Amino acid sequence: MARLVGSLSPRQRLPPPLPVLLPRVLRPISPTASTPSRRRALLLLLSSSFGLGGPSLAHSHASASAMAAPPVAKKVPRDLVQHGDVRVDNYYWLRDDSRSEPDVLAHLRAENDYTAAVMSDVKQLEDQMYAEIRGKIKEDDIDAPLRRGQYYYYERTWTGKEYAQHCRRLVPTDAPITVHDVMPTGPDAPDEHIILDENVKAEGHDYYSIGAFKVNFLVWLHELGSIKTETPFSVQIQDFQLFDNHIAVYERENGLPKVTVYRLPAIGESIGQLQGGRTIDFIDPIYAVDPEDSQFHSSVLRFHYSSMRTPPSVYDYDMDSGVSVLKKIKPVLGGFDASNYVTERKWAAAADGTQIPMSILYRKDLVKFDGSDPMLLYGYGSYEICIDPSFRGSRFSLVDRGFIYVIAHIRGGGEMGRKWYEDGKLMKKKNTFTDFIDCAEHLIKNKYCSKEKLCINGRSAGGLLMGAVLNMRPDLFKAAVAGVPFVDVVTTMLDPTIPLTTAEWEEWGDPRKEEYYYYMKSYSPVDNVRAQEYPNILVTAGLNDPRVMYSEPAKYVAKLRELKTDSNLLLFKCELGAGHFSKSGRFEKLQEDAFTYAFVLKALGMTPKLASL
């Protein structure tokens, strides 16, 4: 679950200090998700690394997998009473706030050993996929320099280093900024100054992330007065950037970002209603756009762009002429060619007639659209977070194996505006789950995949989504990956001693009120596991996760093991050192993707063929 505590919206920007370095040891931010709320930066990381060990790895792959027996958690019944209703929790003992109880740690280690043993026969494939994913990264690289005052500021990475260096270099000219501005390099260029080396700061820490890095500049104010805009109901204003003579407005229309630039009247003149703006055109049918820092006294707007097939790119846009100049596109190695891939927007009809947008990526020379293609369907749908169709290099290890990758932009997210969010929270939360199911059925009906080839993935609040739809329609999916899932909704929301619980009542409701209690209970994954067949399932957790307690997925897996009637895979992988986001290094993060993809391929029975590629 996205246990969100941020208090700043995108417009509540921190004042820019002279380099303020705020090392964080617990809370990373995600560059992949866009949201108009304070929750912008959280929980979109689907990458983390979980280390496994244990003597089972010493066995041969075949024998280890065959000999492994799933752990069976002991049952210690505990009655949980609310509103006269009694819930019996046989696995409440797995919650240990000290994270030191021997029985609890022994059970978690047993789960890890079992997972390692079962997955040992695809360890070579996992390693191969990790090498593929890492091999797409240009390890020594520099991002697009930003000219600010007398300096260019930029980040640099080096081969083999997990973290970035923050650098600057003098601007050797007084000429005004243009979209064609280029930082000089080479022996005659001004010297490079390293402001911060994250690799040095990260030494001695299991987790390290910069919370903020700002450079101090004068703050310029422009008296706006009253601005009026004609904004249709389907359009949501998310952000804006103010310049000396322009204003750039970031909106969301029909599920996609939109950027419009308006010229401002001279200082002292009334602005009135913004009219005659120029909308920036983008190259893909579906994409992600985010503002970048820009100079107030210039006509250059800088923005970050990517799509599911277009690598992260930085553009400078001349707001006077309408000319866009590509300043940097992130290199993708390994023979990557964007023209091999197709991205498209499709819509699925929900049961109530609502049209649910989906973003789709596939390799055009590999898919057949006859129902035989494997698919990974991702969903989130909470906190008004927008899961925009941005670039993620690791996906191509599946897509290049014939997978279709789909993001379902279900209600509860913010992709279609405020009402979209409100229709997927509190007493309307079940819309999130039924939307996802409707998307899956639409894709099957239109032969994008079949039940036998459909795998699903969600993390945190998206893990709640996984647990809910698996209880509702276990027949619809072949495999599911639930990352750090929020699955014990009622118990957690009834316990104000758990960090962040009371703040979460705004999202889920307060179960001390009877109507919320019974509504939550009707979908809470732990409370609705029952004796039925489930697909192959991988669940992950972090022992020190402050947002979703490790005990939630641990209890969920224990109850599934007790009640499910199938012989499909059920694996639980608990990182005993890290928290909600696990590893922080740029290469360490890739390990979980490789492990997850190896699990998906194993569940689909595709590993023997692919391991030889």
The pairs formed by 256-263 with CB atoms below 8 angstroms and a separation of 24 or more are: 256/286, 256/287, 256/345, 257/34, 257/287, 257/288, 257/289, 257/290, 257/388, 259/289, 259/301, 259/303, 261/301, 261/317, 261/319, 263/319
* 580 catalytic per annotation: yes
Is 275 buried (19+), middle (13-18) or exposed (0-12) by CB count in 10 A?
A: exposed
- The catalytic residue among 313, 460, 551, 582 is 460
- The catalytic residue among 107, 166, 409, 580 is 580
Residue 190 DSSP code: P
Strands 151-157 and 141-142 come out as antiparallel
Cα 438 from Cα 377, distance rounded (Å): 12
Where would I find the H helices in 458-513? Answer: 461-472, 489-493, 501-508
Q: Is 500 within 8 Å of 5 (Cβ atoms)? A: yes
DSSP E strand stretches across 460-605: 479-483, 536-542, 570-575
Cα 235 from Cα 539, distance rounded (Å): 37
- The catalytic residue among 438, 545, 551, 582 is 545
Closest CA to 249 of 266, 234, 227: 227
Cα 408 from Cα 380, distance rounded (Å): 8
Strands 300-306 and 341-349 come out as unpaired
Number of H helices, E strands in the chain: 15, 27
Residues 205, 17, 178: CA angle, nearest 5 degrees: 110
Q: Which residue carries 């929750």 as its tokens?
A: 39
* 460 catalytic per annotation: yes
Tokens of 313: 């790119």
Cα-based torsion angle of the residue sequence 279, 283, 288, 291 in order, rounded to the nearest 10 degrees: -50
* 321 catalytic per annotation: no
For residue 480, give the 3-state DSSP assignment: strand
For residue 530, give the 3-state DSSP assignment: coil
- C-alpha atoms less than 13 angstroms from C-alpha of 233 in its C-beta half-sphere: 2
Q: Is 539 within 8 Å of 18 (Cβ atoms)? A: no
Q: Which residues are annotated as catalytic?
A: 460, 545, 580
